[in-house]
Chain A
């Protein structure tokens, strides 16, 4: 979608008891930086380690310990900013966000409230062919993650693991540009895709690598346009924030539920209270976190342990030079370079690993055939066995070799599928397997003619019918293919059957 000839999607409309309503949604996505060590300590970020083993004294909030920033984390955050076409602030600073919780031993989270590292950017969210929502990014700042509390291991105690404490997060804050639950989920999906292309976040939502806080409000049709024109947020409804969701399905369901809850309140003559809510996926509803409200007095102030973070334009330029091809560009290139449909290009570029696999298969071969095989055969088979592309038993080189045999007419399409299955389960060199097992296509017209003659001789009644109705010639082709174990070249068989029957 590089030509930018896209249209904005129509906002989702929810019918209330009295009126139609629209949604206004903004997201704060917390993306874990794909670094080896934590933001301010040398402890590992490895997921799934023994409890409290990836903890430095800085992370544990021991007295006298000082934070030292991990330059690799800063580089990854800058790279993320560049990938979202955002402004990079050469001077940013860290602030303390103060609150008490057992999994926050410092008593504050180091964050960037006043001077974030990354300023305004944008994400183009695809909502169908030629339809996309441009979501503006307000800012990206760096901050520390908190530890993990486990409440179900003991009836009276909570258990705290500080392994995640101090891991670097990027908080990516969007403008309220999102107009429906589907758009919100698609936005998170697109963001995740870009981060994974950039290699700056693994995007593993199940492990909490990517979590979203969603701000939702409702308004009457036309109000949003007034807001965009005047910039005055008071024409919109009061918003609620739904905290900490780690699944696109939940995000969608939570927004839908929350919007309907707000509409019901307003139509009943009440008013929405601005508050933080939690989504309960079991009950499919959101509930208030009122008891946390008072604690939301964070008393931010500049962290006296950290000087401002000053970076050089030359360093930013260097990072910009290392940016990989991003999803939108890759998809556009796949369409033009390989002549595939936009749909196929979408499927192949969804995950960067898939795109790389495809390009290896397609190198020096017919792009469309390669796309068909990767999407239909390979992806289908991976899905069946619930495997990731990195675990594929058939390598790109092996699949390429199968396609070569097909292109050279050495095997038929049907045999190629059988061959794929053999390579999948047994491995090996496709060309060698074809050779060893006699799977080569019979293109020797003499052999095919003999087979056709046999079948014609054995089925005089069918011959008569076919001569009256040429469409029935297909039956003979089928019989010949059966007789030759699928190895006869179908084109040759067709020709010979037509000739012999005198059609």
Chain B
């Protein structure tokens, strides 16, 4: 699999990262290097090996269905560039 500049531009757009047209070839190259490394891993024979989901022998931690958090509107909104009447205010997004 090879990444061209068009794909690189698409990935950048999905990630909401602005990339100048001139920088796209270099970005595509970097992607290809990463993918090349992953492809190398594909060469390992994993026939019959269970996929590893974690490196620690742990069970997924759970909690009870109890309300223990919330009521901190000020803190939640404190980093927002704009907040009004308890809401985050963002530039209009509408279908």
Q: Which residue numbers of A lie inside 8 Å of B, CB to CB?
A: 35-37, 41-44, 50-57, 60, 68-74, 93, 98, 100-102, 149-151, 153-162, 278, 289, 291-292, 294-295, 297, 299, 302, 306-310
In the assembled complex, how far is the CB of residue A334 from the closest CB belonging to chain B, in whole angstroms?
A: 33
Q: Are B70 and A43 in contact, with the CB atoms below 8 A?
A: yes
Q: Which of B18-26, B30-38, B59-67 contacts A (4 or more CB under 8 A)?
A: B59-67
Contact (A160, B95) CB under 8 Å given A306-B60, A307-B60: no
In the assembled complex, how far is the CB of residue B17 from the closest CB belonging to chain A, in whole angstroms?
A: 11
Q: Are A151 and B85 in contact, with the CB atoms below 8 A?
A: no
A35 and chain B: residue at smallest CB distance: B65
5 chain-A/chain-B pairs, Cβ below 8 angstroms: A41-B69, A53-B70, A149-B93, A154-B89, A161-B88
Q: Are B69 and A151 in contact, with the CB atoms below 8 A?
A: no
B68 within 8 A of partner (CB) = yes
Instruction: Give which listed residue, A54, A93, A157, contacts B92 with CB less than 8 A.
Output: A157
Q: Are A36 and B54 in contact, with the CB atoms below 8 A?
A: no
B27 within 8 A of partner (CB) = no
CB neighbors of A among B35-80 (8 A): 53-54, 58-73, 75-77
Contacts of B64 in A (CB 8 A): 70-72
Contact (A36, B66) CB under 8 Å given A157-B89, A162-B88: yes
Q: Are B59 and A310 in contact, with the CB atoms below 8 A?
A: yes
B13 and chain A: residue at smallest CB distance: A294
Dominant SS among interface residues on chain B: loop
Q: Are B62 and A161 in contact, with the CB atoms below 8 A?
A: no
Q: Are B60 and A69 in contact, with the CB atoms below 8 A?
A: yes
Beyond the given pairs A35-B65, A36-B67, A160-B88, 20 more chain A to chain B contacts, judged by CB atoms under 8 angstroms and listed by A's residue number, are: A42-B66, A50-B73, A52-B77, A55-B73, A55-B76, A56-B70, A69-B63, A70-B63, A71-B63, A72-B64, A98-B14, A102-B90, A154-B92, A157-B84, A157-B89, A158-B89, A158-B90, A160-B89, A278-B95, A309-B60
CA separation between A65 and B9, bound complex, in Å?
30
Q: How many A-B Cβ pairs are below 8 Å?
A: 136
Q: Are A44 and B67 in contact, with the CB atoms below 8 A?
A: yes
Q: Are A295 and B86 in contact, with the CB atoms below 8 A?
A: no
CA separation between A278 and B69, bound complex, in Å?
35
CA separation between A154 and B58, bound complex, in Å?
49
B88 and chain A: residue at smallest CB distance: A160
CA separation between A43 and B66, bound complex, in Å?
8
Q: Are A50 and B86 in contact, with the CB atoms below 8 A?
A: yes
Q: Are A52 and B88 in contact, with the CB atoms below 8 A?
A: yes
CA separation between A55 and B67, bound complex, in Å?
11
CA separation between A396 and B38, bound complex, in Å?
68
Which residue, of A73, A158, A299, has the highest number of chain B Cβ atoms within 10 A? A158
Contacts of B76 in A (CB 8 A): 52, 55, 57, 60, 162
Contacts of A98 in B (CB 8 A): 14
Contacts of B70 in A (CB 8 A): 42-44, 53-56
CA separation between A155 and B92, bound complex, in Å?
8
CA separation between A41 and B68, bound complex, in Å?
8
Contacts of A302 in B (CB 8 A): 53
Q: Are A52 and B87 in contact, with the CB atoms below 8 A?
A: yes
Contact (A157, B82) CB under 8 Å given A60-B76, A98-B14, A289-B95: yes
CA separation between A73 and B13, bound complex, in Å?
35
Contacts of B59 in A (CB 8 A): 307, 310
Top 5 A-B pairs, shortest CB-CB distance: A72-B65, A42-B68, A159-B87, A42-B69, A56-B69
Contacts of A297 in B (CB 8 A): 10, 14
In the assembled complex, how far is the CB of residue B19 from the closest CB belonging to chain A, in whole angstroms?
A: 16
CA separation between A295 and B71, bound complex, in Å?
33
Contacts of B92 in A (CB 8 A): 151, 154-158
CA separation between A297 and B89, bound complex, in Å?
26
B93 and chain A: residue at smallest CB distance: A158
In the assembled complex, how far is the CB of residue A202 from the closest CB belonging to chain B, in whole angstroms?
A: 15
In the assembled complex, how far is the CB of residue A144 from the closest CB belonging to chain B, in whole angstroms?
A: 15
CA separation between A157 and B94, bound complex, in Å?
10
A91 and chain B: residue at smallest CB distance: B53
CA separation between A250 and B21, bound complex, in Å?
46
Contacts of B82 in A (CB 8 A): 157
Contact (A101, B93) CB under 8 Å given A42-B63, A157-B82: yes
Q: Are B65 and A36 in contact, with the CB atoms below 8 A?
A: yes
Contacts of A36 in B (CB 8 A): 65-67
Contacts of B61 in A (CB 8 A): 68-69
B10 and chain A: residue at smallest CB distance: A297
Q: Are A307 and B71 in contact, with the CB atoms below 8 A?
A: no
CA separation between A37 and B91, bound complex, in Å?
30
Q: Are B65 and A73 in contact, with the CB atoms below 8 A?
A: yes
Q: Are A307 and B54 in contact, with the CB atoms below 8 A?
A: yes
